[in-house]
Structure 1
Amino acid sequence: MPTIPELAGLDVVDDPDVLASLSHDDAEWAPFGKALAAVRPRTTAEVQRVVGACAANRIPIIARGAGTGLSGGANAVDGAMIVDLSKMTRIVEIDAENLTATVQPGVVNDDLKRAVAEHGLWYPPDPASAPWSTIGGNVATNAGGLCCLKYGVTRDYVLGLEAVVGGPAGEYGTAVRLGRRTTKGVSGYDLAGLFTGSEGTFGIITEITLRLRPARTEAPKTVVGAFGSVVAAGEAVAAITRAGLVPAALELLDRTCLRAVEEWKHLGIEADAAALLLAQSDTPGDDEASAIAGVFRAAGALWAEQSTDASEAEALFAARRLAYPALERLGPVLTEDICVPRSHVPRMLSLIEEIAARHGATIATIAHAGDGNLHPLILAPVGDDQARRAAQAAFEDMLTAAIGMGGTVTGEHGVGLLKRAGMRQELSPGVLAMQVAIKQTLDPLDLFNPGKVIG
């Protein structure tokens, strides 16, 4: 790589094999370029140096966390500098009096949960990748997770953040603090909210202040329902909504996912139905859990029971979290992230089956079913170009179907590279123009993650 004096003394990586591993996330078949180098800063000041040097040399900047993304949002372009934030792992402060935590972006989600639990506190956002994904990446994509039905997504917990930016804030490399530390505040536009979900296209987030909740006082109760078809499980989800029930989690796994996890991890789960619904209730008493089981039965469940075995309940939710990596072991997996109004979940699940049949594609389905966020997983054997083309065609058809019923092309994974065409289909020309104008204002040199989102 060419000598960049401003980077002297920083942890710079130019080994080709390491660079290749840092140049893409987990999105299947999302293109990526050949990076110039990577740098691993540990402080905001070091990120400022990197951004300033890249701007002076017109080098594109790609921020990266753990690389667990599924949309190509962290993929390199040719000649880019990868800013690997995995060394920025400091929990700066846990303020138990004010129910906040301030962290660097490289802190892993589950590590934060464990740290705040020692203070009797809880950080609810819990994507399935929580054991590996970082808070910075979660903020960049506005990640959701299993508990978001009742407790909200990452944006609901971001009070403030620090970011290294360019554009109207001054020269590239300026550090600004956005948002607040208070529970309320409407002084000016919500720029912290704007950065949350921006996928690194406006700047590099170097510190985040998060809202916390008191720890739950009792263990959630798990309700399991088995169904003869995925669509029947979807009908039960819609029935839960109509009944006015709001479980802490309501997840769907089909038989293919369950079998893949069981063959890998041997958790002792029997896939004796086409689909399972897993619900958790953290409301005191048993009334809500009993009501959920009753709705499952009324909706046609083969069986529905409240689990009395804590190990069994833990295994079932472990299976939900492990479904994607379990299927990935079998070959390339193209992951969808559509979200539809909850009343349309049964119809969307039926359309997924129709789309799979039309293209001859193999599709397994998991879902944050309670909030309409579906993750069909499209499988294709290694080296099977026909299966790959079928998977990609099915992927696009599902985007169109979700938009057609008032849904969105991405509920939590982000637009990145894979959803750009879908986003242009979903949003009006006027709204797209506004987004382009914001990007051009905050990043006039188009250095921060170029080609992503608005592309």
Structure 2
Amino acid sequence: MDVLDWLKAALGDDAVAAGVLSTDEATLEAARTDRSGWVASGRPLAVVNATTVEHVQAAMRAASEFRVPVVPRGAGTGLAGGANGTDGAIVVSVAGMNRILEISAEDELAVVEPGVINGDLNAALEPFGLWFAPDPASRAIASVGGNIATNAGGLLCAKYGVTREAVLALDVVLADGRLLRTGHRTVKGVTGYDITALFVGSEGTLGVIVGATVRVLPVTPGTATTIGALFPDVRSAAAAAAAVTASRLRPAVMELLDAPSLERIAAYLGEQTIAEAFGATGGGSYLLTQFDGLSSATDAAAAADVIRASGGTVRVSADAAEGERLLAIRRAFHPALEATGEVLIEDVSVPRSKMPEMFAAIERIGERYGIAIPTVAHAGDGNLHPNFVYTGEEVPEKVWDAAGDMFRTAIELGGTLTGEHGVGVLKRRWLGDELGPDSYDLQVKLKSVFDPLGILNPGKVFG
């Protein structure tokens, strides 16, 4: 009996007939890639389209028995190649595990399966006056399980935190098929090691997340106030963003678009759309800042003064529709780039005070390699997304060389390779540069405790 026969028997005839196990070529092909554009070589053995915890357990037991690699996968919206089905692997998709099991308004938490889409969770929370804070730009298509696997951030995390701050407890299927429950439903809990936090950001290398208890927040009262500011160049805009945070103001959103980004968004949405939203077109750099809460107007007025003093031409509005229009333009950044070619979407973070230096370095790197690098930043927390647009199926070598220079610069500035996308395959060659030999060795050993056979997402993160 081979692994597929064993797996069919473990899943049962009804599940197999319902398409839980697939070896269809189109399904296997789709599982080889994600939104990064990276395509894994070879061919996965099968895809398990799990809809229950038992399906995941059966897949892991089969993989453990036959020493077959497993690639956990959710919505497929990753940007680092972390969930791409590799040659000979069983891809365990939890996209079909998409039920919201509980919403507790009293305890301000929700219990969800990993395939629940961010936007769907927030739609379900809205009648309770609650919301789920992690807010990636891909919230309409990204899943909560994927957020947890990569410790995703987004537009609002400077004020409300990254995914780790929102996770109270997890259900995880381990490499041998056992179901592990971690964490708690309480606000506080410090018993033992924080294994829940360990799984957040583990990118499928320690287990398969099959359930999560997440913290949700009351909807912020008051009217949001939005500031739009145009600058002559990106470095002055970055300096203004750093000055706002240094002034002890805490905007809910602070996004920075450089000139190459604005040019592509304008081409995608139309110059008129940009003109109506920003009040100006062409050149420079744009800083979008939004305050929420009862003090939003006062805080925005103070921030506007800081931004003007930094050289920005400022526009302030308490109109909700205008604020949403500006955020929609920011969210159009990635579709605008994808309309012009293949895109390598990168992700580095630096201390907020170092953002002007990082933007200057990106400009120099682009000039050195003859590459345009449109860059958008979550300026409130120093998380930059430099993007490389290219043609053809393979990322050109000079793009990787430029990315390498960029990663090393971020580390030299006291930053990190990734603020929210994860390491996956695309950044693993630089992981040792950031961690150092001792930390790298300890993390490899830690993985072996959870995955002694090395079957969980091999080749990802640690290579």
- Choose from 399, 403, 419 the match for 1:411: 419
Change (3 A) 1:268 1:339: same
**2:343 counterpart of 1:333:** yes
Mapped contact 1:235–1:299 kept (Cα < 8 A): yes
Letter in 2 for 1:323: F
**2:314 counterpart of 1:304:** yes
**2:202 corresponds to which residue?**
198
SS, match of residue 77 in structure 2: coil
**2:177 counterpart of 1:173:** yes
Deviations 1:305-349 (A, max 9, x none): 112443332121111112012201210111111000010000000
Mapped contact 2:71–2:204 kept (Cα < 8 A): yes
Letter in 2 for 1:318: A
SS, match of residue 250 in structure 2: coil
SS, match of residue 377 in structure 1: strand
Mapped contact 2:260–2:372 kept (Cα < 8 A): no
Moved more, 442-451 or 374-383: 374-383
SS, match of residue 274 in structure 2: coil
Deviations 1:400-426 (A, max 9, x none): 000001100000000001111221101
CA deviation after TM superposition for structure 1 residue 160, in Å: 0.2
For 2:340 and 2:150, how far apart are their aligned partners in 1? 27
- Choose from 42, 47, 56 the match for 1:47: 56
**2:378 counterpart of 1:378:** no
**1:359 corresponds to which residue?**
369
**2:306 corresponds to which residue?**
295
Matches for 1:47-196 after TM superposition, within 5 Å: 47-166=56-175, 172-196=176-200
SS, match of residue 350 in structure 1: helix
Mapped contact 1:362–1:380 kept (Cα < 8 A): no
Letter in 1 for 2:114: P
**1:229 corresponds to which residue?**
233
SS, match of residue 86 in structure 2: coil
Letter in 2 for 1:344: K
For 2:282 and 2:323, how far apart are their aligned partners in 1? 16
- Choose from 434, 441, 445 the match for 1:433: 441
Deviations 1:96-131 (A, max 9, x none): 100000000000011111111111111111000100
Unmatched 5+ residue regions in structure 1? 167-171
Moved more, 286-295 or 129-138: 286-295
**2:321 counterpart of 1:321:** no
**2:287 counterpart of 1:274:** no
SS, match of residue 252 in structure 1: strand
CA deviation after TM superposition for structure 1 residue 24, in Å: 1.8
CA deviation after TM superposition for structure 1 residue 165, in Å: 0.3
For 1:374 and 1:30, how far apart are their aligned partners in 2? 24
**2:257 corresponds to which residue?**
253
**2:5 corresponds to which residue?**
3
Letter in 2 for 1:311: A
Mapped contact 2:262–2:282 kept (Cα < 8 A): no
Unmatched 5+ residue regions in structure 2? 276-280
Mapped contact 2:35–2:79 kept (Cα < 8 A): yes
**1:169 corresponds to which residue?**
none
Letter in 1 for 2:29: A
Mapped contact 1:336–1:376 kept (Cα < 8 A): yes
CA deviation after TM superposition for structure 1 residue 262, in Å: 3.5
CA deviation after TM superposition for structure 1 residue 82, in Å: 0.7
What is the number of equivalent residue pairs in this alignment? Answer: 447
CA deviation after TM superposition for structure 1 residue 90, in Å: 0.4
For 2:247 and 2:462, how far apart are their aligned partners in 1? 39
For 2:285 and 2:396, how far apart are their aligned partners in 1? 25
**1:36 corresponds to which residue?**
45
CA deviation after TM superposition for structure 1 residue 257, in Å: 2.3
SS, match of residue 118 in structure 1: helix
CA deviation after TM superposition for structure 1 residue 72, in Å: 0.6
SS, match of residue 462 in structure 2: coil
Mapped contact 1:30–1:417 kept (Cα < 8 A): no
For 2:53 and 2:300, how far apart are their aligned partners in 1? 46
For normalisation by structure 2, the TM-score amounts to: 0.93
- Choose from 29, 32, 36 the match for 1:23: 32
Mapped contact 1:254–1:274 kept (Cα < 8 A): yes
Mapped contact 2:223–2:318 kept (Cα < 8 A): no
CA deviation after TM superposition for structure 1 residue 30, in Å: 5.5
For 2:367 and 2:70, how far apart are their aligned partners in 1? 41
**2:278 corresponds to which residue?**
none
CA deviation after TM superposition for structure 1 residue 2, in Å: 4.4
For normalisation by structure 1, the TM-score amounts to: 0.95
For 1:423 and 1:31, how far apart are their aligned partners in 2? 20
- Choose from 205, 211, 214 the match for 2:215: 211
Letter in 2 for 1:298: A
SS, match of residue 72 in structure 2: strand
For 1:325 and 1:367, how far apart are their aligned partners in 2? 16
**1:239 corresponds to which residue?**
243
For 2:37 and 2:319, how far apart are their aligned partners in 1? 37
- Choose from 358, 361, 368 the match for 1:348: 358
For 2:211 and 2:41, how far apart are their aligned partners in 1? 27
SS, match of residue 427 in structure 1: helix
SS, match of residue 116 in structure 1: helix
CA deviation after TM superposition for structure 1 residue 397, in Å: 0.6
For 2:142 and 2:220, how far apart are their aligned partners in 1? 23
**1:420 corresponds to which residue?**
428
